[in-house]
Structure 1
Amino acid sequence: MEKKKKDTVKRKRKQKPSARELHRPRSSDANATFALLLASLSNTPHSVIFINKCLFKLRRFLLLSQTSMTPLLALLPTLLRSTRPELACRASDIIGAASLVSFDANEEFAFDSETVEGLISLFQSRIRKVLLSACNVVLDFSTTTFAQRQVLKFSALNKLMFVFLHIFNGLECARLWSECDESLHSLKIGIKEDELSLAFLSATVVLINACEVESIPQSLSEAFLRILKQIRVRVSDQEVIKGARKCNEEGRLYKSNIAASQPTGSLSFEVVQRGLFGASDTTSEDFISNYWEVSPFLLSRATRDPDMHDIFGAFVQSLNWNGRVPSLLSSILQHLVACFPIASDEQNILNFLNEVKDRLGCPIIYQQDIRAVKTERQSRKEMHYFRDFHSGCSKEPLYFTFDDVLKCGQAYKEGYTVALRGLEFCYQSIAAIADTLALMFGQPSVGANLYLTPPNSQGLVCHFDDHCVFVCQIFGSKQWTIFSPPSQLLPHLYDNLLGSDINCTKAGRREFFLREGDLLYIPRGFPHEAYTSSAVSDGSPGFSFHLTLSIEVEPPFEWGGVSHFALHCWSENQKRLLLHVAIGIISNFDPSFRKACLTAVVSLPPVVYNGLFQGQRNTFFYLIDKIRTESRFMEVLSSIEVAIQKNEDPFQQIRWLWVLCMEKETSSEYNTNKSFMIEDLLSLCAQHKDKFEAAFLNVKSRFCSEVVFEVVTSNRMLLQKCRNTRKQYINRMFLLHDKL
Structure 2
Amino acid sequence: MHPNAMDRSGKRKKRKESGDEAVAEGPSPSSAPFDRRVFPILLAAAQTARQSGNSAALAARVLRHVLSRSLQMLSPLPDSLVALLPRLLSSSCLSVDALSCELLGAAALQSMEAGEFLASDSGIASGLVRALGSRNQRVTEAACNSIWISRRVQLVGSVLQPHLFCRRYCEHLYLFSQVESICEFINSGTTRLSKRDAEANKISYLIIDTAVLLVNSCKVEKLQSIQQMLVRNALSFLYKIWKKVQLLRSSANCNNRKYQLQSRESEITKAIFRLSTALAYPACLEADVIRKSIFGQAESNFENFVLAYWEKSPNLYRRKQNTQNDDPVFAALHSAFNLGAAPDAIIESFIKGLASCPPIASDELDINSFLGEVHDSLGNAIKYRQDIRILRTQDPSDQTSKSKGCAMEEHFFNDGTVFLDEDEFTKKCKHAFKNGYSIALRGMEFRCEKVAAIASALADLFGQPSVGANIYFSPARSQGLARHYDDHCVLVWQLLGCKKWMIWPNPNPFLPRLYEPFDRLDDTIDDNSGRVEILHEEDMLYVPRGYVHEAHTDVGESQMNAYGVYSLHLTLAIEVEPPFEWEGFTHIALHCWVEKQKLGGCSQFDKSMTKDETSLYALVLHVAIMMLSDKDPIFRKACLVAAKLPSSSSRAMSHLKALRSSQRSIFDEIIKNIEKNCNFKEALESIKLAVQEKNDEPFQWMCWLRHLPQGGDADSRIDFCNIMEVLEEFVEAFSSNPEQALVSFTGFKSRFCKSVVYEDACQSFETLLQMYRTTRNQYMSGMLALHGAHVN
TM over 0.5: yes
Provide the rounded CA distance (Å) in 2 between the counterparts of 1:719 and 1:60: 56
The CA deviation at 1:128 is 3.6
| Deviates further, 649-658 or 524-533 | 649-658
The CA deviation at 1:370 is 1.2
The CA deviation at 1:101 is 5.9
2:673 is aligned with 1:652:
no
Report the equivalent of 1:544.
567
The CA deviation at 1:303 is 9.5
Provide the rounded CA distance (Å) in 1 between the counterparts of 2:583 and 2:115: 41
The CA deviation at 1:355 is 2.0
Q: Is the 8 A contact 1:484 1:507 kept in 2?
A: no
Opposite residue 592 of structure 2, the aligned amino acid is: C
The CA deviation at 1:713 is 1.1
Query: Which residue of 34, 53, 58 corresponds with 1:46?
Result: 58
Query: SS in structure 1 opposite 2:698?
Result: coil
Query: Which residue of 552, 555, 569 corresponds with 1:531?
Result: 552
Query: Which residue of 582, 595, 613 corresponds with 2:624?
Result: 582
Report the equivalent of 2:769.
719
The CA deviation at 1:620 is 2.5
2:279 is aligned with 1:231:
no
Q: Is the 8 A contact 1:490 1:595 kept in 2?
A: yes
Query: SS in structure 2 opposite 1:579?
Result: helix
Report the equivalent of 2:576.
553
The CA deviation at 1:647 is 3.9
Report the equivalent of 2:7.
none
Q: Is the 8 A contact 2:356 2:387 kept in 1?
A: yes
1:75-111 deviations in whole A, cap 9, x for unaligned? 45424323321454157559978997699979964xx
The CA deviation at 1:420 is 0.8
Q: Decide which structure has the larger Cα Rg and report it.
A: 2
Query: Which residue of 90, 99, 107 corresponds with 1:81?
Result: 90
Report the equivalent of 1:335.
353
Provide the rounded CA distance (Å) in 2 between the counterparts of 1:456 and 1:78: 77
When normalised by structure 1's length, the TM-score is 0.80
Report the equivalent of 1:460.
481
Report the equivalent of 1:220.
230
Query: SS in structure 1 opposite 2:786?
Result: coil
User: Structure 1 pair 648/47, CA: closer, same or farther in 2 (3 Å)?
Assistant: closer
Q: Is the 8 A contact 2:166 2:215 kept in 1?
A: yes
Provide the rounded CA distance (Å) in 2 between the counterparts of 1:684 and 1:30: 66
The CA deviation at 1:250 is 3.0
Which stretches in structure 2 are left out of the alignment for 5+ residues? Answer: 1-26, 50-54, 189-200, 596-611, 647-651
Query: Which residue of 632, 638, 644 corresponds with 2:679?
Result: 632
When normalised by structure 2's length, the TM-score is 0.75
Q: Is the 8 A contact 1:232 1:738 kept in 2?
A: no
Report the equivalent of 2:194.
none
The CA deviation at 1:519 is 0.6
The CA deviation at 1:581 is 0.9
Report the equivalent of 2:756.
707
Report the equivalent of 1:125.
134
Query: SS in structure 1 opposite 2:392?
Result: strand
Report the equivalent of 2:327.
309
Alignment of 1:455-494 (within 5 A): 455-494=476-515
Q: Is the 8 A contact 1:640 1:650 kept in 2?
A: no
Q: Is the 8 A contact 2:137 2:203 kept in 1?
A: no
Q: Is the 8 A contact 1:662 1:671 kept in 2?
A: no
Q: Is the 8 A contact 1:483 1:510 kept in 2?
A: yes
Provide the rounded CA distance (Å) in 1 between the counterparts of 2:739 and 2:109: 60
| Deviates further, 653-662 or 487-496 | 653-662
Q: Is the 8 A contact 2:98 2:142 kept in 1?
A: no
1:225-249 deviations in whole A, cap 9, x for unaligned? 3223333444448x99xxx666864
RMSD, aligned α-carbons = 4.2
Provide the rounded CA distance (Å) in 2 between the counterparts of 1:218 and 1:586: 49
The CA deviation at 1:674 is 4.1
Opposite residue 461 of structure 2, the aligned amino acid is: M
Opposite residue 229 of structure 1, the aligned amino acid is: Y
2:312 is aligned with 1:294:
yes
User: Structure 1 pair 540/434, CA: closer, same or farther in 2 (3 Å)?
Assistant: same
Provide the rounded CA distance (Å) in 2 between the counterparts of 1:554 and 1:95: 51
Q: Is the 8 A contact 1:490 1:594 kept in 2?
A: yes
Q: Is the 8 A contact 2:163 2:223 kept in 1?
A: no
Opposite residue 636 of structure 1, the aligned amino acid is: A
Q: Is the 8 A contact 1:488 1:591 kept in 2?
A: yes
The CA deviation at 1:688 is 4.9
Query: SS in structure 2 opposite 1:598?
Result: coil
Provide the rounded CA distance (Å) in 2 between the counterparts of 1:530 and 1:223: 44
Query: SS in structure 1 opposite 2:327?
Result: coil
Provide the rounded CA distance (Å) in 2 between the counterparts of 1:375 and 1:100: 61
1:661-681 deviations in whole A, cap 9, x for unaligned? 799995764299544544454
Q: Is the 8 A contact 2:469 2:572 kept in 1?
A: yes
Report the equivalent of 1:615.
662
Report the equivalent of 2:296.
278
User: Structure 1 pair 246/482, CA: closer, same or farther in 2 (3 Å)?
Assistant: farther
Provide the rounded CA distance (Å) in 1 between the counterparts of 2:254 and 2:309: 60
The CA deviation at 1:540 is 1.1
Q: Is the 8 A contact 1:271 1:309 kept in 2?
A: no
The CA deviation at 1:453 is 1.5
Query: SS in structure 2 opposite 1:537?
Result: helix
Report the equivalent of 1:427.
448
| Deviates further, 79-88 or 134-143 | 134-143
Report the equivalent of 2:384.
366
User: Structure 1 pair 249/386, CA: closer, same or farther in 2 (3 Å)?
Assistant: farther
Q: Is the 8 A contact 1:174 1:235 kept in 2?
A: no
Alignment of 1:7-46 (within 5 A): 41-42=46-47, 43=49, 44=55, 45-46=57-58
Alignment of 1:124-273 (within 5 A): 124-132=133-141, 134-135=143-144, 137=147, 140=151, 148=161, 151=164, 156-168=165-177, 170-171=182-183, 194-204=205-215, 209-211=220-222, 216-236=226-246, 249-252=255-258, 253=260, 254-256=262-264, 257-259=267-269, 260-261=272-273, 262=276, 263=279, 264-273=282-291
The CA deviation at 1:583 is 1.4
The CA deviation at 1:301 is 0.9
Q: Is the 8 A contact 1:337 1:363 kept in 2?
A: yes
Report the equivalent of 1:596.
638
Report the equivalent of 1:18.
none
Q: Is the 8 A contact 1:366 1:398 kept in 2?
A: yes
Which stretches in structure 1 are left out of the alignment for 5+ residues? Answer: 1-21, 177-189, 391-395
Aligned residues: 684
The CA deviation at 1:64 is 5.6
Provide the rounded CA distance (Å) in 1 between the counterparts of 2:268 and 2:298: 47
| Percent identity over paired residues | 32
User: Structure 1 pair 320/624, CA: closer, same or farther in 2 (3 Å)?
Assistant: same
| Deviates further, 479-488 or 561-570 | 561-570
Provide the rounded CA distance (Å) in 2 between the counterparts of 1:615 and 1:33: 82
